[in-house]
C-alpha cells in the first residue's frame, strides 16, 4: 500500500481542537480537505504529519503555537477613533475588517470592543498563541 509523500495531493478528514477540547474546525459533513504535501497550502506541521500515512490511516497530532499561527502580538491590538470609520459603518464585536498595512499589504482585523468614542481591533490570527490538536484520517492519495 502506498504512503503519502512530499508532492502528493492528498485528501484528509480532520477535526481541529484547542487544548481545552473546544473544536474550532472540522471537515465532518463536508468534502475532505485536499492539499499537496509540502506545497505550503496548510500548516507545515499538519502537512508533515500526513507524510508517511497510507489511505485509511488515522492519527492525532499536537501542534504547538510557535509551529501553528505563532504567538499573539499585543502591538496588533489597537484602539481606533470612531471618527476614522466610514460614517455608515455600525461596528460590532466580531465584525471583520480589512485595512492596509504600512507595507501596502491587506491586514485582516477583528473588532473586539466597541465604545462611544473608539473601537478596539485585533490583527492577530484568531488561533495565534494557541496549541492545536488535530485528528486526521487520510482518505485519498493522488
CATH 3.10.50.40 for domain 9-69+127-141? yes
Q: Tell me the three cell numbers of residue 24.
A: 474550532
Q: For residues 116-129, give the mean pLDDT.
A: 96
Q: What is the pLDDT of residue 1?
A: 75
Q: Tell me the three cell numbers of residue 5.
A: 509523500
Provide the CATH number for the domain formed by 74-122 in this structure.
Answer: 2.40.10.330
Same fold, 9-69+127-141 and 74-122: no
Q: What is the pLDDT of residue 26?
A: 98
pLDDT of residue 101 exceeding 90: no
Domain ranges (residues) in the chain: 9-69+127-141, 74-122
Enter the pTM of the model.
0.84
pLDDT tens-digit readout, 10-57: 999 999 999 999 999 999 999 999 999 999 999 999 999 999 999 999
Spatial separation of the C-alpha atoms in residues 44 and 32, rounded to whole Å = 18
Amino acid at each position: 500500500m502506498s504512503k503519502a509523500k512530499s508532492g502528493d495531493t492528498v485528501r484528509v478528514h480532520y477535526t481541529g481542537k484547542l487544548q481545552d477540547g473546544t473544536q474550532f474546525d472540522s471537515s465532518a459533513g463536508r468534502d475532505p480537505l485536499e492539499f499537496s504535501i509540502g506545497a505550503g497550502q496548510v500548516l507545515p506541521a499538519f502537512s508533515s504529519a500526513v507524510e508517511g500515512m497510507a489511505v485509511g490511516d488515522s492519527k492525532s497530532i499536537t501542534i504547538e503555537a510557535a509551529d501553528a499561527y505563532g504567538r499573539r502580538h499585543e502591538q496588533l491590538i489597537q484602539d481606533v477613533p470612531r471618527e476614522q470609520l466610514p460614517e455608515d459603518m455600525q461596528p460590532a464585536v466580531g465584525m471583520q475588517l480589512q485595512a492596509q498595512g504600512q507595507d501596502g499589504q491587506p491586514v485582516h482585523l477583528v473588532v473586539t470592543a466597541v465604545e462611544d468614542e473608539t473601537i478596539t481591533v485585533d490583527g492577530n490570527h484568531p488561533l495565534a498563541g494557541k496549541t492545536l490538536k488535530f485528528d486526521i484520517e487520510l482518505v485519498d492519495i493522488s
